[in-house]
């Protein structure tokens, strides 16, 4: 079963683990394969993951959490990124890193849901990125 409705070339989570449901929390992981195409050009002498893809990873993890919280098939449901708030990029993610993204559902407003997000390279380390994102449930 796929973890997101995205194709393999745009999936930024490899595995998920539900941490709890009061409040709903989820851990998503992604190994950054050094052969990923964006590493060739961003930047050739000093490759790093584009910050916008860290935001995308957070959105995909939030969608996986929201879908599971609502008992939806996360590979078929469509959530879209509606807002990014106070998202800070503190350090770079590089080829070979394994990213750990923890998302927590903060509020639901009908077709909208807000999540807090922290992305780390290893458990126990300081976050390399984080903030709040809002997803919208796309009409069928």
**Which of 99, 109, 3 is closest to 48 using CA atoms?**
99
Alpha helices in the chain (DSSP H): 37-41, 51-69
DSSP H or E run through 108: strand 98-109
Catalytic residue among 6, 19, 42, 50: 42
Give the three-state DSSP class for 67.
Answer: helix
Buried b (16+ CB within 10 A) or exposed e, 54-66: bbbbbbbbbbbbb
Query: Annotated catalytic, 6?
Result: no
The alpha carbon dihedral of 89, 12, 73, 75 has a sign of: positive
Distance CA 107, CA 134 (A): 9
Q: Which residues are catalytic?
A: 42
């Amino acid at each position: 079963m796929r973890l997101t409705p995205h194709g393999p070339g745009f999936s930024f989570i490899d595995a998920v683990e539900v941490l709890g449901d009061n409040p709903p929390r989820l851990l998503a992981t992604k190994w950054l394969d050094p052969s990923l195409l964006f590493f060739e050009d961003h930047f050739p002498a000093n490759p790093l993951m584009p910050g916008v893809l860290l935001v995308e990873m957070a959105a995909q993890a939030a969608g996986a959490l929201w879908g599971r919280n609502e008992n939806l098939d996360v590979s078929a449901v469509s959530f879209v990124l509606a807002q990014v708030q106070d998202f800070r990029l503190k350090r770079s993610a590089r080829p070979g890193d394994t990213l750990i993204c923890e998302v927590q559902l903060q509020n639901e407003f009908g077709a909208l849901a807000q999540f807090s997000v922290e992305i780390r390279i290893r458990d126990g380390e300081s976050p390399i990125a984080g903030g709040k994102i809002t997803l919208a449930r796309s009409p069928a």
